[in-house]
Amino acid sequence: MQNIAPLNWRRFPERYLLRGSYCENCKQAFFPPRAICPNCRRKGKLVSMEMPRTGKIISYTKVYSPPEGFRNEAPYYLAIIELENGARILSQIVDSEPEKIKIGAKVRKVFRRIGEPDKYGTITYGYKFKVIE
């Protein structure tokens, strides 16, 4: 396994600042950032945009059999979240009572550890979401 610190720093704006893109032509936001607007193609004019920190759950699932690196967190919830600007994002739901995790629940971004330390001691951090009252 190689040190993943350089990859995380390259993805800093996306992972730490929740930066996506916005098409000034069709007025649609995208996350993760796109190089070309999927709606407008060459006519689109994409600009970098910080995504809203709140949204609502569109769909969710409870993960019982996680991939390597997430076994100590199982079971956990993953959700498709529609942010206030319409962009959709896949994220883990944390620090929330299971009965509050439901379609339509309002959520906000929180900053949490993403994975376990690797053999170099690198700990990765990033965004997750939490249900808000």
pTM: 0.80
- How far apart are the C-alpha atoms of 81 and 52, rounded to whole Å? 11
Categorize the per-residue pLDDT at 110 as very low, low, confident or very high, splitting at 50, 70 and 90. very high
Average pLDDT value for residue range 83-107: 96
Structure tokens at 44: 């689109």
Structure tokens at 52: 């809203």
Half-sphere exposure at residue 53, Cβ-oriented, CA atoms within 13 angstroms? 10
What is the structure's pLDDT at 109? 94
Query: What is the overall mean pLDDT for the chain?
Result: 85
pLDDT tens by residue, 16-63: 678 899 999 999 999 989 999 999 988 889 999 999 999 999 999 999
pLDDT at 1 over 50: no
Answer left, alpha or beta for residue 128, where phi above 0 means left and psi between -120 and 50 means alpha.
beta
Q: What is the DSSP letter of 121?
A: -
**Element (DSSP H or E) covering residue 78:** strand 76-83
CA geometry: angle 79, 82, 84, nearest 5 deg: 140
Average pLDDT value for residue range 97-111: 96
